[in-house]
Amino acid sequence: MTPLPNMHDAEPIPDAARDALDGLMRSGDLFRYTAPKDAPVSLLEAEFAEMMGCKFALAVSSCSAALFLSLKALALPRDARVLIPGFTFAAVPSSVMHADCVPILCDVGTNYRIDLADFEAKLDDDIQAVIISHMRGHTSDMDAIMALCEARDIPVIEDAAHSLGTLWHDKKIGTIGKIGCFSFQSYKMINAGEGGILITDDADLVARAVIMSGAYEHNWKKHPILQDAFGAWQNKLPLYNLRMSNLSAAVIRPQLPELDRRVADGRRNHDHVAKALNTSPWIDVPEKLEPETRAPDSLQFNLVGMDDGEVQAFANAAAAEGVKVQIFGLSTDNARAFWNWQFMPEVPQLPRTKAMLMRACDTRLPARLTPQECEAVAQILVSAAQSTMAPARAYGS
């Protein structure tokens, strides 16, 4: 049988990064605003904006920082209510609280996408912004969401941390709402250890975000953004210092040309394993939505007809064969289970989302795996379900 790869390793960083890093080591020029122009962070911003087909990009220290700055740049008042999905990473409600706003959660269905009826019901006159988390790269119905939000003039921030390369009707995810935020943390499609970027077409909004990210004094002059947009904000905004270092940008830039290949490989791997898993009566991999072209580097699936004990037995059986599966709702202190977000002013009841999380499994499936390795992963998962639910047949007796 194909030996299983380490499912957590990222891809090696392209060799091209070495020269840039060497140069930075020699000059010691690590701060984005030291050089008069063409600092790696500025070049990354220009290249990322061009790749995404948007006007402006601001590189920062993480996607969480990008989400926080987005909310601040929207100039929301203290205690503004921000609607977010009940299935996301704890960083999302945390960024809302960091911005002195209040997270309001809506239900998410068994296909990991926002439940539109609950979203519409909660999108009342008190909601002042919406963050759509494309959780694990699953895209909610952006046509319906944008129509509802535009009708009420509510700004939409896309948390595309884990969705770089995904398309919706051939439009790049992160360019549909007013602002898109991406992550360069190691488990995302482009890896700098840490890092994030915010994109938008709104010059005034990005000017505020640039200043608040830490472009103190007149450092904003190094951003190719309509310079008029800045004058009004000089000395008027707090400086949160969430900048990206040149080192991170030098690691990210040579990965941008790799993105299309990683996305294609990740989709190939995902679809291969998904197809195999769907042959099992105890496993369901939900279909993507029709307008969506996915860019997955992990796999989510639901266990069907199992009780809590059987779900745990399935995870143990898969782990014994070398495939680590986490069940969002059953693994201890999971940061994607909303009832663990006890830092929120009020932890809501979302029984439907909770039921989904108690059966939804998560396993990494990096783009660098070969089809043979994917087949081995699929077989382990299918036989773990089989041996849990029908042990006699699994042993052929």
Q: Is 89 in the site for ligand PLP (CB under 6 A)?
A: yes
- Concatenating the DSSP letter of every residue in 325-369 gives -EETTTSTT-TTSGGG-TTSS-PPP-HHHHHHHTTEEEEE--TT-
The structure tokens 């009841």 sit at: 349
Which among 48-56, 60-68, 164-172, 388-396 is the span making contact with ligand PLP, rule CB under 6 A? 60-68
Least separation, in Å, of the C-beta of 96 and ligand PLP?
12
| Site size for ligand PLP (CB under 6 A) | 15
Q: Is 389 in the site for ligand PLP (CB under 6 A)?
A: no
Site map 321..360 versus ligand PLP, x via CB under 6 A: ----------------------------------------
Based on CB atoms, which residue is closest to ligand PLP, 63 or 123? 63
Q: Could you give the CA distance from residue 397 to residue 393 in angstroms, rounded to a whole number?
A: 6
Q: Is 210 in the site for ligand PLP (CB under 6 A)?
A: no
Based on CB atoms, which residue is closest to ligand PLP, 122 or 162? 162
Q: Is 300 in the site for ligand PLP (CB under 6 A)?
A: no
Least separation, in Å, of the C-beta of 63 and ligand PLP?
3
Q: Is 262 in the site for ligand PLP (CB under 6 A)?
A: no
- Per-residue b/e over 2-26, b at no fewer than 16 CB within 10 Å? eeebebeebbebeeebeebbeebee
Instruction: Please choose, from the candidates 300, 357, 364, the residue with its C-alpha nearest in 3D space to the C-alpha of residue 87.
Output: 357
**Is 301 in a helix, a strand, or coil?**
strand
Q: Is 135 in the site for ligand PLP (CB under 6 A)?
A: yes
Contacts of residue 124, defined as CB under 8 A and 6 or more positions apart, other chains included, come to none
Based on CB atoms, which residue is closest to ligand PLP, 112 or 301? 112
Based on CB atoms, which residue is closest to ligand PLP, 295 or 384? 295
Least separation, in Å, of the C-beta of 87 and ligand PLP?
10
Phi, psi angles (nearest 5°) of residue 86: -75, -10
Residue from 64, 166, 255, 300 in contact with ligand PLP (CB under 6 A): 64
The DSSP bridge partners found for residue 56 are 200
Contacts of residue 16, defined as CB under 8 A and 6 or more positions apart, other chains included, come to 254
- What is the side-by-side order of every strand in the sheet holding 102-106? 56-60, 196-200, 179-183, 156-159, 127-133, 81-85, 102-106
Residue pair 32/42 in contact (Cβ under 8 Å)? The answer is yes
Residue from 17, 82, 92, 102 in contact with ligand PLP (CB under 6 A): 92
Residue from 133, 166, 387, 388 in contact with ligand PLP (CB under 6 A): 133
Residue from 32, 122, 138, 162 in contact with ligand PLP (CB under 6 A): 162
Instruction: Please choose, from the candidates 75, 129, 137, 66, the residue with its C-alpha nearest in 3D space to the C-alpha of residue 95.
Output: 66
Least separation, in Å, of the C-beta of 283 and ligand PLP?
23
For residue 101, what is the DSSP state?
-
Least separation, in Å, of the C-beta of 162 and ligand PLP?
4
The structure tokens 């029709």 sit at: 290
Dump strand ranges (E) for the chain: 56-60, 81-85, 102-106, 127-133, 156-159, 167-168, 171-172, 179-183, 196-200, 283-284, 292-293, 298-303, 326-327, 360-364
Site map 167..206 versus ligand PLP, x via CB under 6 A: ----------------x-x----------x----------
Based on CB atoms, which residue is closest to ligand PLP, 62 or 219? 62
Which among 89-97, 148-156, 204-212, 363-371 is the span making contact with ligand PLP, rule CB under 6 A? 89-97
Residue from 62, 94, 219, 246 in contact with ligand PLP (CB under 6 A): 62
Q: Could you give the CA distance from residue 187 to residue 362 in angstroms, rounded to a whole number?
A: 13
The structure tokens 């945390």 sit at: 94
Based on CB atoms, which residue is closest to ligand PLP, 13 or 135? 135
Least separation, in Å, of the C-beta of 88 and ligand PLP?
6
Q: Is 94 in the site for ligand PLP (CB under 6 A)?
A: no
Q: Note the residues at the interface with ligand PLP (CB under 6 A).
A: 62-64, 88-89, 91-92, 133, 135, 159, 161-162, 183, 185, 196
